[in-house]
Amino acid sequence: MRRPNPWPRWRRVRQAVQIVAFILFVYLLFAALQRRIAFPLADLFFRFDPLSALGAMVSSREWLPRLAPALITVGVTLALGRIWCGWICPFGTLLEWLSVPRANRRARELSPHWREVKYLILAAALIGALFGSMALLVLDPLALLTRTMTTVLLPGLNHALTALFSVLYPVPPFQGVIGGLEGLLRGPVLPVQQPVFAGNALIALIFVTIVGLNALAGRFWCRYLCPLGALLALISRVSLLRPIIGDACTRCGRCSNVCGVGAIQTGDNFRIVPAECTVCLDCLAACQEAGIGFRPALGRPRGWPAPPEAYDPTRRRLLAALGAGVAGVVVMRTGAGARRPDPALIRPPGAQDEAEFLSRCLRCSQCMKVCPTSGLQPTFLEGGVEAFWTPRLVPRLGYCNYGCHACGQVCPSGAIPPLDLATKRQAVLGVAVIDRNRCLPWAHGTPCIVCEEMCPVSPKAIRLEEVAVIDARGEAAVVQQPHMVSDRCIGCGICEYQCPVEGDAAIEVRRSGS
Amino acid sequence: MSTLTRRQFLGLTARVTGAVLISTACSSGPAAPAAEAPSRRPPPAPSENQAYLAVARGDDAAAITARAITALGGIERFVRAGDDVIIKPNICVDYHPPEYAATTHPAVVAALASLCLGAGARRVRVMDMPFGGTPETAYAVSGIGDAVRAAGGTMEVMSPIRFARTAIPAGRDITAWEVYQDVLQADVLINVPIAKHHSLARLSLAAKNLLGVIQRPNQMHRNLGQRIADLASLMRPTLTVVDATRILVDHGPTGGSLNDVRQTDTVIASHDMVAADAYAATLFGLRGEEIAYVKASADMGLGTLDLSAIRIEEVHA
């Protein structure tokens, strides 16, 4: 008598774990934003990310204990294969949920050589890290998802709901309900100040493209492009336990049809490719004959380590990817931006050594997610190509709050050091400079001391001088003109943020040099 | 259980998206004409045995607050059973604990919340819009959040949807501004500033504290004195309680050094915001008319500057 197939139940367990992991990921996003959790919890997922850990440690030549849990992921992968991809990774889960019907059939028409792209990206990323450049870590899937959530989805959600509520709230029948609902959400979920992010359209476009590629093949990103998936694929070639097609197989092909990542080879060489398998258990659940078993691969003739695949990168292509990685670093380092960064490229507190910062920053966007003013923005080309999507303070959009040190607390790699509040208050980010041609008291004889009023240091870094002037109406007046006391300025930028002059502020934070 | 077909799902998505798009489009349209503010009960003038202005001194902030209110005739003069009360302290930044004198003393705010609830207020909400930090962090660091919740009041995060452009009929410089509507609709508004230094206004007192419930406060500075007075004419707080338990004499409004803090152990209370400000100014060696917005408020008939003409009761607790 055949025992009932236990795998559909395990498959449900896997789906439950995915849901829990995804909800936890989103919860941490909100909770960190609103400081509902201890800061060190905010970067939980990144600590288990071996690509981030390996990249940052190779690039900075330092053991980063905070990223040590990535070893657990490596261990689990060695034992069981790409559990991370199939069970945990919130980006993978999202792409699985957003799968397109019939994409798997279409995927068979794609050349299997697409699968090598991820290895080539990984090779270029790691050789870059060896030369101290983390630029390709922008493609880490957790970083991609965090960046998209932070700069596109959460601000969009806030704007849409606020707009909807603003329309409904003044209408009497809705006032009570909307007021109550909005009161519950405002604060815990929706920030009071609408966050805005530079370059969010590009980030949205990339995200939509990745989701759209799902139409060509289920989890296109995971199969073909993901560098973290590639790293785990390499490890899972020597994993101990894996699904293996056994003797009871009738070659019905059901397993291959249900496999979400196309890891089951049909035809003469009917087998599951360990490097591509995400251990989702769908094939085991679909098998009518108990023909697939989850077994130790040790000692099996063709099982361990996994044999090379036809689409594995050739030595020549691998060398080309490594060469491209090295050349990329050389080109980035010889760009003008590398020597003369934009004067407005202001780094987060404690991260003023540009080279050291760039060698550690995971491009994970956690700091931007947690910054209460959304002053931390994704860098575009202000620091050269290499600094793409690293965080920079844009004071006109949001200041570095004197009462906050959150960014350094959530930074997984320590690129932004975890300064205590008292130390962070003395960290100099830059220095404010007054534009006397635009400043209201200087240029127009109009009273205004907003920059001085806002300055959080004591004694203030802006001093006022009372002078007799001719005002905007041509009349004699006495106004207070602001002067910088540069040695006291910490470059927090609240003066620039609050300056009432339209457009660019009449006081702006600039790199101060060290 | 019925399941959603793809078609239904898409239809639903389209409808929701449509609603959001339309509302977004509406909300970014031309500014609506300024609405009339609802009229609140005017600040109640004192009867014969009640002080016009009370000054309480002592080292227990809660006790002198209660004592000052008693001298005015008790909280019942201002709050009736069933009233919706808003208390507006100064919680301008989330930088320092209360001893730095940048934010109102939590015990003063909590004492007022307790008194109002004791008088049968339906609810007591406390709020401010800090310019440094988020409301939640500022409420926490100032100590006001915990103190108010312990007293039975609620801390409200001021929502962007509750601001509306409101006509200021008596305004001499500004005739409309974006104001938090609940502050205008409340039955009772209690303004509880801390007395402190401010470079442009000279002092930040009660009328200046009202900048925390409007949008674009930095645009007020071009003609700060008159604009604050215009705003005060719209708000007409029922009761003003100036926290001068300790005052910030320099580097305001943010402070940050205890060297700039003077322990003055005083609470000043009156239904007349102008008189309360005029008295508070004397703690800094200034007269009310030397503060532009206090002078402008008096000129608009919002209260009196003449401290010799009113009945001031000085009490100790």
DSSP string covering A158-181: HHHHHHHHHHHTTSHHHHHHHHHH
Strands A507-510, B53-57: pairing is unpaired
Q: Which residue of A has its CA nearest to B102?
A: A456
C-beta neighbour count of A70 within 10 angstroms: 22
| DSSP code string of A199-267 | THHHHHHHHHHHHHGGGTSTTHIIIII-HHHHHHHHHHTT-SEEEEE-TT-----HHHHH-TT--EE-S
Confidence (pLDDT) at B30: 46
Confidence (pLDDT) at A295: 79
Confidence (pLDDT) at B221: 86
Domain ranges within chain A, ordered by starting residue: 7-138+214-296, 151-203, 429-514
* 3 state DSSP class of A132: coil
Phi and psi at B164, nearest 5°, equal: -145, 145
Q: How far apart are CA B294 and CA B306, in angstroms?
A: 12
Partners of B133 on chain A (C-beta within 8 Å) are 372, 401-404
| Closest approach of A84 to chain B, Cα-based (Å) | 30
Q: How far apart are CA A31 and CA A39, in angstroms?
A: 9
| Closest approach of B9 to chain A, Cα-based (Å) | 14
- Taking a C-beta distance cutoff of 8 angstroms, is the pair B95, B133 a contact? yes
Whether the CB of B260 is below 8 Å from some CB of chain A: the reply is yes
Count how many pairs of residues, chain A against chain B, have C-beta atoms within 8 Å: 127
Predicted confidence band of residue A493 (pLDDT cuts 50, 70, 90): very high
Per the structure block, which two tokens stand in for B180? 């938090």
A37, A303, A392 from A405: Cα distances, Å: 14, 51, 15
pLDDT, one tens digit per residue, over A196-224 is 999 999 999 999 999 999 999 989 999 99
Look at residues B247, B276, B251, B281 and name the one whose alpha carbon lies nearest to residue B261: B247
pLDDT, one tens digit per residue, over A230-256 is 999 999 988 888 888 888 888 888 888
Omega into A459 within 30° of 0, i.e. cis?
A: yes
Q: How far apart are CA B141 and CA A35, in angstroms?
A: 13
- pLDDT mean over A170-187: 89
Partners of B15 on chain A (C-beta within 8 Å) are none
Inform me whether the pLDDT recorded for B22 exceeds 90.
no
Confidence (pLDDT) at B33: 64
C-beta neighbour count of A1 within 10 angstroms: 2
Look at residues A3, A17, A57, A43 and name the one whose alpha carbon lies nearest to residue A370: A43
Interchain proximity B164–A159, CB inside 8 Å? no
pLDDT, one tens digit per residue, over A107-142 is 888 888 899 999 999 999 999 999 999 999 999 999
Nearest-CB residue to B27 (from A167, A193, A449): A167
Three-state SS for A369-390 is HHCCCCCEEECCCCCCHHHCCC
CATH number at residue B308: 3.40.50.11440
- Taking a C-beta distance cutoff of 8 angstroms, is the pair A461, A361 a contact? no
- pLDDT mean over A329-347: 87
Confidence (pLDDT) at B222: 83
Q: Give the DSSP H or E segment for A96.
A: helix A90-97
| Closest approach of A119 to chain B, Cα-based (Å) | 36
Nearest-CB residue to B23 (from A167, A458, A499): A167
- Taking a C-beta distance cutoff of 8 angstroms, is the pair A468, A478 a contact? yes
pLDDT, one tens digit per residue, over B242-296 is 999 999 999 989 999 999 999 999 999 999 999 999 999 999 999 999 999 999 9
Whether the CB of A453 is below 8 Å from some CB of chain B: the reply is yes
Interchain proximity A192–B132, CB inside 8 Å? no
Helix intervals (H) in B38-172: 61-71, 106-118, 135-141, 144-151
Inform me whether the pLDDT recorded for B139 exceeds 80.
yes
Q: Is residue B84 part of a domain?
A: yes
A429-514 is a CATH 3.30.70 domain: yes
Nearest-CB residue to A448 (from B135, B136, B221): B221
C-beta neighbour count of A152 within 10 angstroms: 20
Domain membership of residue B168 as a residue range = 39-316
Q: How far apart are CA B207 and CA B273, in angstroms?
A: 7
Whether the CB of B193 is below 8 Å from some CB of chain A: the reply is no
Phi and psi at A340, nearest 5°, equal: -120, 80
| Closest approach of B54 to chain A, Cα-based (Å) | 31
Q: Is residue B264 part of a domain?
A: yes
Domain count for chain B: 1
Whether the CB of B12 is below 8 Å from some CB of chain A: the reply is no
Strands B202-204, B194-198: pairing is antiparallel
Whether the CB of A170 is below 8 Å from some CB of chain B: the reply is yes
Output DSSP code: residue A442: I
Inform me whether the pLDDT recorded for B129 exceeds 80.
yes
Q: Is residue B212 part of a domain?
A: yes
Give A235's Cβ-side CA count (13 Å radius).
Answer: 25
* Chain centre distance of CA A504: 29
Q: How far apart are CA A289 and CA A254, in angstroms?
A: 11
Partners of A165 on chain B (C-beta within 8 Å) are 161
Residues of chain A numbered 145-164 and touching chain B (CB < 8 Å): 159-160, 162-164
Interchain proximity B159–A192, CB inside 8 Å? yes
Phi and psi at B238, nearest 5°, equal: -70, -35
* Chain centre distance of CA A318: 27
Q: How far apart are CA A142 and CA A43, in angstroms?
A: 10
Inform me whether the pLDDT recorded for A468 exceeds 50.
yes
Q: How far apart are CA A405 and CA B55, in angstroms?
A: 40
A168, A172, A180, B180 from A176: Cα distances, Å: 10, 8, 6, 16
Q: A89 vs A310, which has greater pLDDT?
A: A89
Q: Is residue B7 part of a domain?
A: no
Per the structure block, which two tokens stand in for A349? 């507190």
